[in-house]
Amino acid sequence: MKRVLKILGIILGVLVVVIVVLAIIIFFLSNSQLNKKVEVQAESIEIPEPTDEVLARGEYLTHYVGVCIECHGPTLAGDNMIDVPIFAVVNAPNLTPGQGGTGNFTDEDFVRAIRHGVGPDGKRLLIMPSSDFANFSEEDLGAVIAYLKSLPPQDHVVDGNSYIIGRALMVMSPSDFFEYENIDHTAPFPPAVEEGVTAEYGGYLASIACAGCHGTNYSGRSFPGGGETSANLTPAGPLADYTFDDFLKVFHEGVALDGREIDTDNMPWATFGSMTDDDLEAIFTFLQTLPPQEDKQEAS
């Protein structure tokens, strides 16, 4: 019996050593990912004068199309966006010109962060959906930046981030955490699209507002760590049975066609519901033109 216990003790000791060694390796490899610096030449764009029209457009795109308020908070002064201690605690930074914010950002810093997912220090931004925001036209990105620069300063230095299981996933699949890895940094700005209730304009809006969660082919996608997958928005999915009024009800009441209440943690329907009905109809019109896709996209 003593011999068996001794063997079990040795095995347990070896396992503990292996786990500690793996944890140390993962810690250093994940720190390397977090501190990795890259070089991106930010495009020089014209930031328009902050007229009422420009600021209104920038606010609309920032709040309700890009839904930046979902991560950075209702005043964009920074907020907690992931709070699962065993996985990770991640806080979105202050976007106002106040302390801890963007007061020292140049126009190029804004472009590099929004369009390329890279901070002024050259580090890749964590969980920043720049692959979606790279679809902003030059004119609309200019309006967004003009709006952000006009925000009243709020002093808010956000708390640091922490990671446990998230560190292992970060090492295994950096592209799930750093959108920089998923962007063609040589791609030109997409052309401006005339606003209207058209599939073309709806496709433009959907590329910014919908593709990040529902996949670039809009068939839905899975996410790192498992959990619920996003809905298939092509005619192969539930939207095939929706009228536009049904579609509006999702965003105005948070209720699906089958009567199911939609969880705002997974789908910020109320924020998107602040888009104009015309813009929502344009998106609906675009989604109806998609070819049916049965397969969901896997996490990258």
Residue 163 confidence (pLDDT): 81
Last residue of a domain, one of 154, 182, 210: 182
Last residue of a domain, one of 151, 182, 213: 182
Asked if residue 234 and residue 174 are part of one domain, the reply reads no
**Sorting pLDDT into bands at 50, 70 and 90, what band is 93?**
very high
Sign of CA dihedral 161, 162, 165, 167: positive
Rounded distance, CA 159 to CA 97, Å?
17
- Residues 95-108 have pLDDT tens digits of 999 999 999 999 99
Residue 297 confidence (pLDDT): 64
In a domain, 155, yes or no: yes
CATH number reported for the structural domain that contains residue 264 in this entry:
1.10.760
In a domain, 33, yes or no: no
Cβ-Cβ contacts under 8 Å for 2 (sequence gap 6 or more): none
Residue 178 confidence (pLDDT): 92
In a domain, 221, yes or no: yes
One DSSP character per residue, 106-125 reads -HHHHHIIIII-B-TTSBBP
Asked if residue 214 and residue 161 are part of one domain, the reply reads no
The percent of residues in the chain predicted with pLDDT above 70, rounded, is: 91
Lowest-confidence region among 32-36, 143-147, 252-256: 32-36
Asked if residue 237 and residue 167 are part of one domain, the reply reads no
Q: Is the pLDDT of residue 3 over 90?
A: no
Residue 26 confidence (pLDDT): 76
Which of residues 277 and 295 earns the better pLDDT score? 277
Rounded distance, CA 196 to CA 79, Å?
34
Residue 2 confidence (pLDDT): 64
Residue 159 confidence (pLDDT): 83
**Mean pLDDT over all residues of the chain?**
89
Asked if residue 171 and residue 56 are part of one domain, the reply reads yes
The percent of residues in the chain predicted with pLDDT above 90, rounded, is: 64
Q: Which helix (H) or strand (E) holds 138?
A: helix 138-150
Residues written for the chain: 300
List 221's β-bridge partners, or say none. 297
Q: Is the pLDDT of residue 23 over 80?
A: no
Q: Which two tokens stand for residue 129?
A: 């959906």
Lowest-confidence region among 14-18, 87-91, 243-247: 14-18
The amino acid at residue 109 is D
Domain count, the chain: 2
Sign of CA dihedral 236, 200, 252, 151: positive
Q: Is the pLDDT of residue 299 over 70?
A: no
Q: Which two tokens stand for residue 130?
A: 């720049």
- Residues 57-80 have pLDDT tens digits of 999 999 999 999 999 999 999 999
In a domain, 168, yes or no: yes
This prediction has a pTM of 0.89
What distance lies between CA 20 and its chain's CA centroid? 33
Rounded distance, CA 247 to CA 240, Å?
11
Residue 87 confidence (pLDDT): 80
Nearest to 257 by CA among 239, 276, 275, 281: 239
Domain of 208, in residue numbers: 199-288
Rounded distance, CA 119 to CA 98, Å?
17
Mapped onto helix, strand or coil, the DSSP state of residue 164 is coil
DSSP-derived pairing of the beta strands 162-163 and 79-84: unpaired
For helices 138-150 and 52-60, the axis angle rounded to 10 degrees is 100
Asked if residue 158 and residue 66 are part of one domain, the reply reads yes
